[in-house]
Structure 1
Amino acid sequence: MTTVDKIKEIEAEMARTQKNKATSQHLGGLKAKLAKLRRELLTPTSAGGGGPGLGFDVAKTGVGRIGFVGFPSVGKSTLMSKLTGTHSEVAAYEFTTLTTVPGVVQYNGAKLQILDLPGIIEGAKDGKGRGRQVIAVARTCSLIFLVLDVLKPLGDKKIIEKELEGFGIRLNQKPPNIYFKKKEKGGISMTNTVPLTHLDLDEVKAVLSEYKIHNADISFKCDATVDELIDVIEGNRVYMPCLYVLNKIDQISIEELDLVSKIPHAVPICAHHEWNFDELLAKAWEYLDLARIYTKPKGQLPDYSSPVVLRRETATIEGFCNNIHKAILREFKYALVWGSSAKHNPQKVGKEHVLADEDVVQIIKKTTSAAILNTGTEPQSEYYFPVDQAYLPNLALITAENLKTKESLEIEKDDQYTNDQHQFYKIQLSPPLGAGEKLQVTVKSVLSNFIRPFPVSVGQSEKQGFMYSGNAFALSAHPTSKQMTTVQTPGKNMQIHAHPLDSKLQVTNNEVILGPFGKMGALVKDALQVEYEMTGPVIHFREFRRDVEVTHWGSSLAVEDHYNFVNRGAGLKGQYIRKGARLPPSGAEDGNAVKAFVVGIPKLARDIYYRDEIGNISMSTIHHLDKAIGLSLQRWFPIFGGWNTTFYTGYNVPLDGFVHRVPDTEKYILKMNVKAHLPFSLDSIEYSISKTYMDSAGRSTVTIKASNLVEDHVQELLVQRTMASINNGNNNSNNSDNPGSASTFASAVGSGTLQALKPNVVDRYWNDIAEHFREPGFSTFDKEKSSQAIRDPEFMRKLLLAVISDRPGQGDILPSVITKSSCDFFVSLDKAGKTDFLRLLARDFGVLQEDVAKAARQYSDQAKQDPESKALLRAEQVLRHAIVPGHNKFFDRVSRLPGGLKFLIDIRQDLLTILSENRSDFYLAALNESLKEKLQAWFVGFLDLERLTWQSPAVLLEKITQYEAVHKFKDVQDLKRRVGPGRRVFALMNKGLPTEPLVFVQVALVNTLSNNVQDILNDPSPGHVNPAETVKCAIFYSITTQLGNFLIKRVVRSLKVEFPQIETFSTLSPIPGFRRWIAQCQGLGQKLLLPEEESTISQLSRESGSDVEEQFGALLKQASMFSDKDKTAKLRPILTRLCARYILLEKRRYLALDPVANFHLRNGACAHRLNWMGDASSKGMEESFGMMINYLYSLDHIEMNNQQYLQDGTISVSLPEGGFGRVVQDAHGITGSSVSRTMESSDASQTGDLVELHGVKLRLLNITTA
């Protein structure tokens, strides 16, 4: 009987057995037998071979692997082709795909590997079809896309899940929290920390008996099932996330789509039309649990364009460093982290620090420093550093730096003391080191090709070792009082072959520390030899040559890179045996060999090719990265130690992005970055830039050569070629007066003043070449300083004119295309280019003064002649049209584009930035005002109030969580609670920005006026059983200030329609400036305390002799003060009085000093009640000692409150019990007689009493709240 037959027999018996307490033990044993048989299917026999099989074994790449699993003909291959651009056979019959087809998709800076697997059939787990190979590959994935036909999703989903489960794959499940460990004796020990409702002792015993386990410790920390127990015992289960991709939604109705969208973990798409791919990739990112980490070079801004993407489980500083290069950890000192994982920005952290998504990291490397002490009597301006003559051929770089100031020190060879043993380098100390002074200097010397394999050759399957041989001491030209030597290696299993006999020695897995050593003389040497093991190739580039040539087509550059590298690892002992050797990354037998490598080429490259030294085309794969193209190359044989290879890569790049002009001349240069980013050391590098024989000036070549290069070499390089011009075919080469004559322009290039040319630069370039026979020079610039954007004013003017002008018969499409082109052009500009563009738009397309003056005269003359004529109306129309600036039409046309409104907002942001640096620019200021008026009209006129719920688009909800500044969201459940029953979130939306909540407010629907925000945020079930009766108050507990007045009034009207019974509309607002105001008053020496309060503070402080006000300030800084109930009770009336004074009496001009108070008071609210410990969070305590305030929006008083506050600063105050009634009297330590009543109304409930308190007008209202 086969294994499959046995499985079917057990499944039949389980189906016949009724589950109850009497049969539970028997069923447990059957399930254990079934799991063991399943394991036999999972474990291939020797006869059957191992692994997924031919055509299924695919090398892993990228940060995550996504496998497409599904029945035949559900659209997996179409989805693959559309997502990745990889060809996967697509046809109208089943089983089109017969092997695994790999591809790569780029998302959020991450490279995600996609595997299109052949379709599986029911019974795949039992060996039917190719199911076992497919599921074997699926087990290696990080995420499964279960591709389903949307017309029958649930049935197919259930069948495929059963097949995957039979192969040990658990979808969207966490490993059960069960501790299991076998032991030699002691029997079965079982404990549980939670009640077990699905499992009893008999079932556990039956399972363990089937596995012949009689001694084990088992601890259940979850309510486990017998299946989960078996999974833990088997130990070969794979738990992975899964997305159910519901394809072909173009074949169903909207109602059906709404229904299938509610399936958990489902994403509806249409692969054919590429619908909803954004959500699919966003969900894949979420389920893969990836984190983007941005790098920040020292002294520069973070690089947000090219993040390092890590899995959450490896998202540590150590994982971050290893992802970039393992060598970084050898020099790691600490890291600076900005972002949500940091307690403060930046935070200094170690290798174990766990990073969060979109953190910014700066790595600080270790350096070795020398403390120089001048023991003489005269200042010293020179320090000598020796290098062993034997090391000079390997010396790639030597630098010196002042450790304290981080300034580079000048270092140069000095032959005065140089001999046949040592080469001395002189370091200039600036300023000179005075007598008795000490200075710490860092000297960094980099030696290439210094490590040798040991032994020199190994077998194909043997591990290789390397030997470091050097000086055990730091070679010094001067006596030293103390020193220590540390050797770190990239490998492991370190062994010491030679070292000073009397030295202290510390050895770890990859580090040796010698010393510390005491006083030593100058130029002391002793042998140190360290052996270590390192598996992996050691690539060394012996030669790199780049040829850059203008092609015969005249519109592109042809670039060819010539590479020659050698594997510096241990040589191959014996013959190469192909049996067992595998393509990367499988197999360790040839782990020391070079199997594949990646070279980078420019993003704009096209027509890419790759060949070896004899013309063979080897395998290559193109990966489109954010800033470049990665060309993955794989030779047709592995490169073992001592073997070398030569290969070539070539491509074309457009010429118009690189030709530029020197200002105020007719001279051109070809500007491009010729720095090659090579991952390994390099013997020599050569660049060749030439013109072909077809150029009229003949062929010329410029070659740059360098040797012994390492990654530390980062230098600007300028190459120029100067030729006399031949004007109009005249061979007079001495025409120096010709403005087109070529001459040196190194100063112009070096100062960064190059000007980019307009789009027809290539034509103009060749026209000038033909006219003057000039040859362009060539230069290199780093990427940060260069810009491919074209900033020629004439081109900009023509482009804007094309957008703004109305041409007969051009229709509606062409203006939109031209406008979109202008927007794309603007985005491509750097800051200087954007400034030029906006200034030209403002100056040349503003109001034409001559036209306005002419239209005004015509209107005036016509008004005098005949005020009632049609000619006057026509003149009025002409005048009205004349005073409208031309750039308004540009704004109008941009606003009609998809995303146009957002683009105009970004333009205004650029405008404000430019104006902040140049406030005197009248043209840009006028442009800013015009755009501001346009945006105001569009925004206020087209704003819609929208309630956000859990069913709102995810992008909207995500932005709400990002923009919330008052009470941050804790997690998804917190978001769900705030938009759910008993709560409301309203946002103002603009149709031009459908995914952008411009302003929003969060509302709590409660039965009484809230006095603290903790009850609102932490209420687990804020809904109401009968909201029509229990909802009495609407509490605005978070609101963005922009357009807040407009928003609040519309929200009140909306809530009134939904809940007519609500009469109380109030805020629960922070008082952000209260603590800061107290500190400022004390800093200015102002007296805050009343006499009776001073005695209270003295009792609390228990310090005699010091100033009471200082004691008060010291008490407020003690966090423990507010955790003591007795002390807090004494502080409460003092802080409440001072807070009332701050809200009511402290002014900025005639308006409230507190920004939140000013916002609500000018909106027509009245100050209602101060709430002690209204916000007990750390933020609330830091801002206002936890105090919050209710501002009441009484519909009967809003208009009058608003008018009086804006007119003379009158603040309306309601007088509820426990509210401002008392504090109005004692806000400044005064009695009731100090309050002067200036006006008394016959109906105080409507107009209130107007009183004056210390020159501040207060309007007292009697308002009843729920």
Structure 2
Amino acid sequence: MRAISLVLVAANALLAHASLVNVNAVRSVDVTGAGIVRSKTSVRVRNDDTDPASEYLVNVPAAVADTVSFVAASVRADKGKSDLAVEKRTPTLYAVSLNPPLVAGESVVLDIATVYTQLVRPLPAVIDQGEEQLLFFSLNAYIHSQYTTEKQKTVVRLPSSSTVGTELKGPEPVSKKGALVTYGPYENIKPLQSEPFSLHYKDTKAILVVKSLSREMELSHWGSNLGVTEYYDLYNKGAALRDKLFSRIDYSMARFTRASSNVVEELRVTLPPKAANLYYRDDIGNVSTSHFRKSATRDSIMDIKPRYPLYGGWRYSWHHTYDVPLNEYLKKDVNTGRYTLQVKFMGSLSNVTIEKSRLRVVLPEGALNVQVALPFKADSQVIEKFYTNLDSIGRPMVIIEKANVADEYAVPIQISYDYPSSELLRKPIIVGSTMLGLLILGMAYARLDLSIVNDGKPNPNDVLQTERTKVTATLVVGRSVYDGVDESFNQFKTQGLDEAGLGVARQAASEKLDRVVVRLKKSADVVRGLGVAGDKELLAFVNGVGEIEALLKERLVKVVSYQDYVVAFLKEIKASPEGKVDDKKKEGLAAKTQVTTNALNEIDGKLSGIFERITV
């Protein structure tokens, strides 16, 4: 039934506007956006009918209808451009409202912008780690209009002048100059006439797709603060590694030779001015490899470096949080007392395709008459209740969802609401009542005598449990020794092979490990003082702590030995005129890496077993 309705809508549209004519159309297609195709068509439209035309219909080929993310239109006038309303009638048909209507016999120039996502694909889909990425896409060489087009041409802008092969596929005439490919001009194009063109070209930029983006905002009238958290699930949809094989050695050498690839090593996040209290975490925990540049007047910038390079077919999830002053985004109408919040729908990562985007805005408790104004049609828009600490009636939460989102949706939305001044007292009253109740409970508890008579002798089980806790905390510190050595070694590889700095870091790690050993010996001595003879549990603890001391020292020795081997390897690469070493030495490094990894895994396994034995 729905399919029949769509057919009727399209048929009626064809009959209602058959008298419009595209006098001249010039379409520019930009594919420099790494997987995002932006098309802008400037068309002069003439009304050959006797009645005014109130709308102009934009058609999209059915084959690419699912990839259309954004359609906008404007009309040129003497005083500049004026935006026109666009309504999606069917998946392949958009209606542009002509305001004022186009008078019979007159013409007007329309600018129609269309954004396609995930239309570009890598070809081949898999490549070797050092191989350059090639992309492919295809469109109708004509503007695919249901009106007769007297004259038109299409100009495609590529990211580079490098294309695969010498033949440009598409209806003649076709010409190429640098990174620009021109199709046409063509004359007397029939309605919905189709003749595809395709381009196969080089582009080493990653095709970044956000599988899901969740933005959460929470307002605080008390603190005059707007807290923002953004959750990203990022996917590199570029050419994947062949057989999923990744070589850390080839990756390190490519950084010296500056070889091109579609790998992502760093992401730039644009934050609002005056953004503060920022942190960046992924699924594992806090990530320190980020750089934040704050500005009070311009956009603040955060460069984040994932834990691993993001090659084609790889994913990375993280979230970052920041605060901004609420008065920069919230205004109050002095006449009505109504508040209006204006924020952007899009996140802070640009030039990406977002498959699923969700914005949640938590308003203050007691907000009433909530209204939302959107400059686009959302897939879903609801208002729910949200409860957090010390809430009594819950907070209104606006949830807006939209699929297939591009940068063009980085537009402000408005959320307005009423907030009586008396609601500011709700939280202090709740907090005061809670504190008073806790005070009364504390006074009652203080009058109770719950003391236990102590015979003056330490309980061996209590002492053992205390030392087990101390050993656990000490091993956490011991683990940080190796993290510090690894971090200093990574800085050594990426910051000019500074051996002096590496030596200082190793000395600090050795001293820190000595302090860890002293703590472990102290715990063992305390338990030994209880008298371990005849007590298997106490004896196992003392012996286990001694084994841990030896394994920690052995592990540091193996890590330093492996790093020295890699240092010599990198110095040889740097000294080589071409930055290369022979394959035997590369194989030797790979073998050394495998042996060291196995040894460290064996030590870690022993440490885990001993730790479990002495702490359970």
Compute the TM-score of the two structures, normalised by the length of structure 1: 0.27
Describe the shift of the 1:441–1:601 C-alpha distance in structure 2 as closer, same or farther (beyond 3 A): closer
The answer for the alignment partner of 1:679 in structure 2 is 350
SS at structure 2 position matched to 1:580? helix
The answer for the alignment partner of 2:361 in structure 1 is 689
The answer for the alignment partner of 2:110 in structure 1 is 441
The answer for the alignment partner of 2:281 in structure 1 is 611
Q: How many residues align?
A: 370
2:130 touches 2:260 (CA, 8 Å); kept in 1? yes
SS at structure 2 position matched to 1:767? helix
Letter of the structure 2 residue corresponding to residue 486 of structure 1? V
1:469 touches 1:527 (CA, 8 Å); kept in 2? yes
The answer for the alignment partner of 1:646 in structure 2 is 317
Describe the shift of the 1:567–1:432 C-alpha distance in structure 2 as closer, same or farther (beyond 3 A): same
Q: Which of 179, 183, 186 matches 1:517?
A: 186
Q: In the TM superposition, what is the alpha-carbon distance from 1:598 to its structure 2 partner?
A: 1.6
Letter of the structure 2 residue corresponding to residue 637 of structure 1? Y
Letter of the structure 2 residue corresponding to residue 591 of structure 1? S
**2:102 & 2:269 partners in 1: Cα distance?**
47
**1:507 & 1:680 partners in 2: Cα distance?**
26
**2:112 & 2:418 partners in 1: Cα distance?**
40
**2:254 & 2:268 partners in 1: Cα distance?**
13
Q: Which of 77, 81, 84 matches 1:409?
A: 84
**2:417 & 2:40 partners in 1: Cα distance?**
41
The answer for the alignment partner of 2:582 in structure 1 is none
Please show how residues 802-1201 of structure 1 align to structure 2 within 5 Å. none
**1:399 & 1:669 partners in 2: Cα distance?**
26
**1:386 & 1:692 partners in 2: Cα distance?**
48
The answer for the alignment partner of 2:452 in structure 1 is none
1:555 touches 1:656 (CA, 8 Å); kept in 2? yes
Describe the shift of the 1:765–1:469 C-alpha distance in structure 2 as closer, same or farther (beyond 3 A): same
2:345 touches 2:412 (CA, 8 Å); kept in 1? no
Q: Does the alignment pair 1:623 with 2:319? A: no
Describe the shift of the 1:457–1:668 C-alpha distance in structure 2 as closer, same or farther (beyond 3 A): same
**1:536 & 1:366 partners in 2: Cα distance?**
20
1:377 touches 1:435 (CA, 8 Å); kept in 2? yes
**2:156 & 2:194 partners in 1: Cα distance?**
16
Please show how residues 226-265 of structure 1 align to structure 2 within 5 Å. none
Describe the shift of the 1:476–1:666 C-alpha distance in structure 2 as closer, same or farther (beyond 3 A): closer
The answer for the alignment partner of 2:413 in structure 1 is 717
**1:583 & 1:596 partners in 2: Cα distance?**
18
The answer for the alignment partner of 1:916 in structure 2 is none
The answer for the alignment partner of 1:370 in structure 2 is 43
Q: Which of 698, 702, 705 matches 2:398?
A: 702
Q: Does the alignment pair 1:504 with 2:173? A: yes
Q: In the TM superposition, what is the alpha-carbon distance from 1:531 to its structure 2 partner?
A: 0.5
Q: Which of 137, 140, 148 matches 1:468?
A: 137
Q: Does the alignment pair 1:489 with 2:177? A: no
Letter of the structure 2 residue corresponding to residue 683 of structure 1? E
**1:392 & 1:601 partners in 2: Cα distance?**
33
Structure 2 stretches lacking a partner, 5+ long: 1-30, 363-386, 432-616
Q: In the TM superposition, what is the alpha-carbon distance from 1:468 to its structure 2 partner?
A: 1.3
**2:155 & 2:330 partners in 1: Cα distance?**
50
**2:53 & 2:123 partners in 1: Cα distance?**
45
Q: Which of 286, 299, 303 matches 1:632?
A: 303
**1:540 & 1:694 partners in 2: Cα distance?**
39
SS at structure 1 position matched to 2:424? helix
Q: In the TM superposition, what is the alpha-carbon distance from 1:665 to its structure 2 partner?
A: 5.7
- Please give the per-residue CA displacement for 1:149-183, whole angstroms capped at 9, x wherever unaligned: xxxxxxxxxxxxxxxxxxxxxxxxxxxxxxxxxxx
- Please give the per-residue CA displacement for 1:526-577, whole angstroms capped at 9, x wherever unaligned: 1211011012322222322222235899564443211121112111113100
Q: In the TM superposition, what is the alpha-carbon distance from 1:487 to its structure 2 partner?
A: 1.7
1:495 touches 1:532 (CA, 8 Å); kept in 2? yes
2:70 touches 2:115 (CA, 8 Å); kept in 1? yes
2:133 touches 2:261 (CA, 8 Å); kept in 1? no
Q: In the TM superposition, what is the alpha-carbon distance from 1:771 to its structure 2 partner?
A: 7.2
Please show how residues 193-212 of structure 1 align to structure 2 within 5 Å. none
1:385 touches 1:427 (CA, 8 Å); kept in 2? yes
Letter of the structure 1 residue corresponding to residue 302 of structure 2? L
- Please give the per-residue CA displacement for 1:376-421, whole angstroms capped at 9, x wherever unaligned: 3443333322111222221111122223442223332345xxxxxx
SS at structure 2 position matched to 1:524? coil
Q: Which of 35, 48, 63 matches 1:390?
A: 63
SS at structure 2 position matched to 1:445? strand
- Please give the per-residue CA displacement for 1:270-299, whole angstroms capped at 9, x wherever unaligned: xxxxxxxxxxxxxxxxxxxxxxxxxxxxxx
SS at structure 1 position matched to 2:149? coil
The answer for the alignment partner of 2:382 in structure 1 is none
1:686 touches 1:704 (CA, 8 Å); kept in 2? yes
The answer for the alignment partner of 2:424 in structure 1 is 766
**2:40 & 2:226 partners in 1: Cα distance?**
42
Q: In the TM superposition, what is the alpha-carbon distance from 1:505 to its structure 2 partner?
A: 1.5
- Please give the per-residue CA displacement for 1:704-750, whole angstroms capped at 9, x wherever unaligned: 22222222234331234669xxxxxxxxxxxxxxxx49xxxxxxxxx
SS at structure 2 position matched to 1:391? helix
Q: Does the alignment pair 1:455 with 2:124? A: yes
SS at structure 1 position matched to 2:251? coil
SS at structure 2 position matched to 1:383? strand
Q: Does the alignment pair 1:577 with 2:247? A: yes
Q: In the TM superposition, what is the alpha-carbon distance from 1:633 to its structure 2 partner?
A: 0.8
2:338 touches 2:416 (CA, 8 Å); kept in 1? no
SS at structure 2 position matched to 1:579? helix
Describe the shift of the 1:713–1:656 C-alpha distance in structure 2 as closer, same or farther (beyond 3 A): closer
**2:188 & 2:338 partners in 1: Cα distance?**
63
**1:659 & 1:404 partners in 2: Cα distance?**
35
Compute the TM-score of the two structures, normalised by the length of structure 2: 0.53
Letter of the structure 1 residue corresponding to residue 407 of structure 2? E
Q: In the TM superposition, what is the alpha-carbon distance from 1:426 to its structure 2 partner?
A: 2.4
Query: Rg larger in 1 or in 2?
Result: 1
The answer for the alignment partner of 1:599 in structure 2 is 269
**1:722 & 1:518 partners in 2: Cα distance?**
58
Describe the shift of the 1:533–1:666 C-alpha distance in structure 2 as closer, same or farther (beyond 3 A): closer
Letter of the structure 1 residue corresponding to residue 130 of structure 2? S
The answer for the alignment partner of 2:560 in structure 1 is none
Describe the shift of the 1:458–1:769 C-alpha distance in structure 2 as closer, same or farther (beyond 3 A): same
Q: In the TM superposition, what is the alpha-carbon distance from 1:653 to its structure 2 partner?
A: 4.1
**1:491 & 1:380 partners in 2: Cα distance?**
42
**1:584 & 1:689 partners in 2: Cα distance?**
44
Larger proportion of strand: 2
Describe the shift of the 1:559–1:369 C-alpha distance in structure 2 as closer, same or farther (beyond 3 A): closer
Letter of the structure 2 residue corresponding to residue 428 of structure 1? S
